[in-house]
């Protein structure tokens, strides 16, 4: 069904409007706060957001991220010796490897950062990841948070369970190498690139409380379906639909080949995405502590923006 972006809010039944208005009313900003928020927004757009994480939270987010990375790399490479208690030997490595590391640390990074805003702001978020080879990252995170073992009790949260978790990945009788229907929380199967953003928009239509955070691989972005899906925002009505937060993962490569969007000048990419109807924020760098602060500052601003757009519309 086509969504009419110009439909007046009053015609749309929205039972939770009162509750939402009350929540927003309580958080109404003074003129000074509004000016501060506007300048933080401009800083974030330039990739210079301030540092909202305390040193304790920064340490915890980083530890969670590194644990998810360990669990991901273990799935790709390790047949045995899951905690590397013994010196690594050839027989501990899988005889035939599948997948590549590429997108995974980025997906894991965003996963833990989304968890922070979900917990702090009680948000309803679904995480959709386009680059199929990030499959181990999603399995790793669901294992780390406990939902994987809840669904598959034989993959327990101990050394024995971890060994099975690692062995089963892309292994005969095990699990697929991409996110698949059996991955907890999944609605988007990896494998054929191109449909992540379309699925993210589909998930939020007529689902006003949902935010779909959708990672688009820079290689995936070169597929026809994905290149077209940016325009799905034309069908989104902030009054009765949820929101999509696309995250373009510019890691520079599609497996080993260079990507177009990572090679064009930043201003050109910015203009391209603005032309599609988005307001891009850049989170760039390589130093983890700095990147955690930058991502946290950026997510704070974009989530506040989503809430403002929805509040104004509703
Ligand atoms: C439609 C389609 N074409 C080609 C492939 C093969 N393929 C798998 S991963 C990949 C590269 C994807 O690049 P990107 O989204 O940037 O992920 P990254 O390599 O950074 O992990 C390609 C071309 C595929 N899975 N689906
Ligand atoms: Mg890439």
Question: What atom in ligand 1 is closest to the CA of residue 132?
Answer: 9
Burial 153-162 (b: 16+ CB within 10 A, else e): eebeeeeebb
Of 6-10, 211-215, 238-242, least confident by mean pLDDT is 6-10
Q: How many other C-beta atoms can be found within 10 angstroms of the C-beta atom of residue 287?
A: 9
pLDDT single digits (tens) 5-59: 444 333 333 323 233 323 333 345 666 767 777 777 777 777 666 789 999 999 9
Averaged pLDDT score across all residues of the chain: 89
Q: Which of 251, 255, 259 to mutate to test the pocket of ligand 1 (most atoms within 8 A of CB)?
A: 255
Average pLDDT value for residue range 228-256: 97
Of 2-16, 55-69, 119-133, 178-192, least confident by mean pLDDT is 2-16
The contacts of residue 111 (CB under 8 Å, 6+ apart) are 68, 127, 137, 138, 141
What was the pLDDT predicted at 285?
A: 94
Q: Which of 176, 216, 219 to mutate to test the pocket of ligand 1 (most atoms within 8 A of CB)?
A: 219
pLDDT of residue 1 exceeding 80, the answer is no
CATH fold, domain 3-51+102-133+178-313, is Rossmann fold (3.40.50)
pLDDT single digits (tens) 254-298: 999 999 999 999 999 999 999 999 999 999 999 999 999 999 999
What was the pLDDT predicted at 27?
A: 45
Question: What atom in ligand 1 is closest to the CA of residue 216?
Answer: 15
- Which ligand minimizes its atom distance to the CA of 131? 1
Per cent of the chain over pLDDT 90 is: 79
The contacts of residue 43 (CB under 8 Å, 6+ apart) are 49, 50, 297
- Which ligand minimizes its atom distance to the CA of 193? 1
For tokens 């760039």, what's the residue? 284
Per cent of the chain over pLDDT 70 is: 88
Q: Which residues line ligand 1 (CB under 6 A)?
A: 102-103, 131-133, 191-194, 217-220, 223, 251, 253-255, 259
What was the pLDDT predicted at 21?
A: 29
What was the pLDDT predicted at 40?
A: 73
- Which ligand minimizes its atom distance to the CA of 217? 1
Entry pTM:
0.88
268 token code pair: 């050109």
Q: How many other C-beta atoms can be found within 10 angstroms of the C-beta atom of residue 297?
A: 22
């Amino acid at each position: 069904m086509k969504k009419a972006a110009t439909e007046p809010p009053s015609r749309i039944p929205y039972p939770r409007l009162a509750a939402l208005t009350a929540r927003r009313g309580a958080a109404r900003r003074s003129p000074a706060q509004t000016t501060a928020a506007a300048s933080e927004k401009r800083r974030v757009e330039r990739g210079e957001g301030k540092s909202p994480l305390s040193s304790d939270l920064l340490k915890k987010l980083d530890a969670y991220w590194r644990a998810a990375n360990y669990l991901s790399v273990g799935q790709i490479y390790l047949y045995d010796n899951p905690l590397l208690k013994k010196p690594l030997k050839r027989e501990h490595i899988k005889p035939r490897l599948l997948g590549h590391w590429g997108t995974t640390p980025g997906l894991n990074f965003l996963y833990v950062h989304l968890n922070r805003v979900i917990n702090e702001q009680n948000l309803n978020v679904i995480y959709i990841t386009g680059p199929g080879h990030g499959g181990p990252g999603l399995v790793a995170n669901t294992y780390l948070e406990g939902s994987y073992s809840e669904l598959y009790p034989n993959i327990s949260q101990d050394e024995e369970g971890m060994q099975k978790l690692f062995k089963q990945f892309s292994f005969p009788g095990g699990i697929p190498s991409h996110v698949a229907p059996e991955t907890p929380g999944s609605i988007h199967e990896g494998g054929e690139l191109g449909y992540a953003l379309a699925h993210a928009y589909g998930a939020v239509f007529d689902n006003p409380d949902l935010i779909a955070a959708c990672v688009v691989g820079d290689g995936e972005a070169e597929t026809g379906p994905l290149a077209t899906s940016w325009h799905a925002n034309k069908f989104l009505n902030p009054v009765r639909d949820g929101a999509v937060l696309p995250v373009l993962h510019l890691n520079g490569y599609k497996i080993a080949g260079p990507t177009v969007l990572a090679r064009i000048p930043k201003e050109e990419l910015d203009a391209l995405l603005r032309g599609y109807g988005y307001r891009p924020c850049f989170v760039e760098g390589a130093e983890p502590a700095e990147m955690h602060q930058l991502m946290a500052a950026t997510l704070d601003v974009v989530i506040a923006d989503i809430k403002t757009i929805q509040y104004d519309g509703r």
